[in-house]
Structure 1
Amino acid sequence: MIFGYARVSTNAQDLATQIGQLEAAGCERILHDKLSGLNTQRPQLKKLLEAVGRGDTVIIPATDRLSRDTADLLTIARDLKAAGVGLRSIAEPIIDTTSDLANVVLAVLGLAAKLEHKRLREWTAAGRAKAKADGVKFGPKPKLTLHQQREAISRRDIDGESPASIGRSFNVSRQTISRLAK
């Protein structure tokens, strides 16, 4: 059987073009979701993956309709292949696991997923570095203001008051007071 899968991100978007493409490609049954491609919990996609069996083919209008995340796309493609189900993309003819090049296609998708993950780590690191340079502080917000910290340190180190007693007066734990730098 030839299945089709279409997806748009919002209810305001129209599935008609994708469904028309899938019908023209010979799909006998078409399932579709109106959810973000980043959402891996798409009910109709799940239904599709449960319905397909050995010898079936899944046709998609484009790979980004199946998933926006390359690693997720690779996982879906591998799961389909393991179940004996082919995957074809109308927009990207190279994505065709029904051909003799199926292993090459999956290897390319795997490489793309690794590169995407590396690029994401680089972007995240660059964003964190810029935020730090702009003065953004990471981690939990301090429980005590600078003034309270100085007062607590003075009471602990100069007056000899116990961290537990100081902590109670500021409504924080004794460990918070003990960790304050001199």
Structure 2
Amino acid sequence: MRVGYVRCSAIEQNEARQLKMMEEQKVEKLFIDKASGKNTDRKAFKEMMGFVRAGDMVIVESISRIARNTRDLLSIVSELTEKQVEFVSLKENIDTTTPQGRFMLTVFGALAELERENILERQREGIAIAKDAGKYKGRKPLEVDKAQFKDACKRWRTGEITATAAMQEVGLKPNTFYRRVKEMGL
């Protein structure tokens, strides 16, 4: 079976170009993610990996659509190879059944990882410039009822409730909860 995988990083991005390519490739089953490629924790990606079986072919528009770092890319291709599933990247035109193809896959995977790191670096630089100009203040801190927070922390510290229960009561995730505990000296 010809299985297509399409990924866009954000909801506002359009996957039409990738979908057209999948149509041209006559894919029989299509999996679409609207998520970052920074890791493999993507719903449709996981579904696709569970779906494919020996003799199938996974088709992507480019390597960067399936993975943004070399380690993930090589791991994905290795898992597909173990399942006897062929991997095809249209942009790079790579055949993973040959040693040369696997080498080229590694090179292109490293380039995709470098591209992601460059994007993040430019983003950090842009934020720093905006902060210096007073245009970027970061995310607004979550407001919590201080009395409720202190009460939940007190009951957590005395063992009345768990930390997880305290977090749920005040509506905070672990990192934010513990940061607030530290800031308030609780």
Q: Taking structure 1 as reference, are residues 106 and 30 closer, same or farther at Cα in structure 2, changes over 3 Å only?
A: same
Q: What is the identity, as a one-letter code, of the residue corresponding to 2:67?
A: S
- How is 1:1-182 mapped onto 2 (pairs within 5 angstroms)? 1-93=1-93, 95-97=94-96, 99=97, 101=98, 103-110=99-106
Identity between Structure 1 and Structure 2 (%): 35
> Residue 126 of structure 1 corresponds to which residue in structure 2?
none
C-alpha distance in structure 2 between counterparts of 1:26 and 1:113, whole Å: 25
What is the TM-score with the length of structure 1 in the denominator?
0.57
Gaps of 5+ in 2: 118-186
Q: Taking structure 1 as reference, are residues 78 and 13 closer, same or farther at Cα in structure 2, changes over 3 Å only?
A: same
Q: Deviations over 1:98-134 (max 9, x none)?
A: x5x2x332234346667979xx8xxxxxxxxxxxxxx
C-alpha distance in structure 2 between counterparts of 1:112 and 1:5, whole Å: 18
Q: Taking structure 1 as reference, are residues 32 and 83 closer, same or farther at Cα in structure 2, changes over 3 Å only?
A: same
Equivalent residues of 1:78, 1:106 under 8 A apart:
no
Equivalent residues of 1:77, 1:106 under 8 A apart:
no
Gaps of 5+ in 1: 121-182
- SS of residue paired to 1:105: helix
- SS of residue paired to 1:40: coil
Q: What is the identity, as a one-letter code, of the residue corresponding to 2:33?
A: D
> Residue 131 of structure 2 corresponds to which residue in structure 1?
none
- SS of residue paired to 1:18: helix
Indicate the structure (1 or 2) with the bigger Cα radius of gyration. Answer: 1
The aligned length equals: 115
- SS of residue paired to 2:95: coil
C-alpha distance in structure 1 between counterparts of 2:78 and 2:18, whole Å: 23
Displacement of 1:58: 0.3
